[in-house]
Every structure is written in C-alpha cells, then in structure tokens.
Amino acid sequence: MELKEHSVQVRGVKLRVFDTGDVGESTSRPVLLFLHGMRDAAASLFSIAAPFADRYRIVLPELRGHGSSDYPSAY
C-alpha cells in the first residue's frame, strides 16, 4: 500500500493525513476512513488498512493533538 502524506487546515489547526489517492481525486473506489484512538497516531493503522487498499481509497488522518498534527491554540 502506497500512502501519500499531506496536511490540511481545519479551523486554523494543521492536521497530517495519509491517503492512497491524490488530493481532490475523483475515483470510482469508495473511501474507507480509519480513525485512531486516543494517544495514538495514524501509523498504528497502516497494517490494518493495507488489506483494503486494492478495493478502497484509504484515508488515515491524525486527529488534532496526536502524531504530527498541531494542537489547537486553546489548549
């Protein structure tokens, strides 16, 4: 599974996202979104997501304050 890393801004907070497609890509494959748990990061889900990559577009965001995503300024 080849993952591309990029970031998105959500309400001024930069979030790291891993994705098997191109940003803004229109595809016939349905999207499968994986969300990690508290005190974790997207990397913990790479091996779990890999078997689905041939049928789905995989999206693995790192939630705010986790992994390499920013913390919101209010915290």
* Residue 50 maps to a domain: yes
The whole-chain average pLDDT of the chain stands at: 84
Nearest to 33 by CA among 13, 15, 19, 22: 19
**CA-CA distance, 28 to 55, in Å (whole number)?**
10
- pTM (global) more than 0.75: yes
Number of domains in the chain: 1
Strands 4-10 and 57-61: unpaired
pLDDT category at 24 given cuts 50, 70, 90 is: low
Number of H-type helices and E-type strands within the chain: 1, 4
Flag whether 70 is in a domain. no
Cβ distance 36 to 44 under 8 Å?
A: yes
Would you say residue 66 lies in a domain? Answer: no
Q: Is residue 75 part of a domain?
A: no
Q: Is residue 72 part of a domain?
A: no
The residue assigned the tokens 């994705």 is 19
The predicted-structure confidence for 26-66, as pLDDT tens digits, reads as follows: 667 899 999 998 888 888 999 999 999 999 999 999 987 77
Segment 8-20, tens digit of pLDDT: 888 888 888 999 8
68 found inside a domain: no
Range of the domain at 9: 4-61
